[in-house]
Amino acid sequence: MRRQVQGGCPGTAGTGSVTTVEGTADGGGERVSEAQLRRRLGRADLRAVPESRHDLRRLLRHWGRPGQSETAELLTTELVTNALIHTNRAAVLTATVGPRGLRVEVRDFVDHEPRPRVPDADDGTHGRGLVLVESLADAWGIRAHGVGKAVWFELDADAA
């Protein structure tokens, strides 16, 4: 079964869709349900940041323990903002909720690999994004693509 709902705000460059997929788990007869958000992020379109957060909130409406969806929104905001500000290119946000948890990935099309850095008190709010991801996510990383990379994080379904 596949269900798709278009999201995003009218008149914006980015569009999102939420898809629910039911299938059979590998190696067993158990039914597994996953929901996925996929959103194109326009080049330097910072309106996509709150719109992505809104779409993720809808996706996670019934997921996780108290506070988990807020953590997911915060970390997603950081990844989306980083991709739009530091690459000056378009990006793609994908969030997948499955039985084991949530995986969020932001793919951009620039090879430069981001690195967590110690925030400088004189640097305003810059430099804290990946430090937050590193400290709050259950897992995170960077995966190279032929063109660009994907920065991702995971939150376990049962984590406190």
The per-residue pLDDT for range 100-154, each reduced to its tens digit, is: 899 999 999 988 777 665 655 555 555 567 889 999 999 999 999 889 999 999 9
Q: What is the pTM of this model?
A: 0.77
Lowest mean pLDDT among 28-32, 46-50, 96-100: 28-32
Instruction: Please check the confidence at residue 5 and state whether its pLDDT lies above 60.
Output: no
Kindly provide the residue ranges of all beta strands, DSSP E only, lying in 51-100, ordered along the sequence.
Answer: 91-98
As given in the structure block, the two tokens for residue 89 are 């290119």
Among left, alpha and beta (phi > 0; psi -120 to 50; other), residue 41 is beta
Q: What is the pLDDT of residue 158?
A: 73
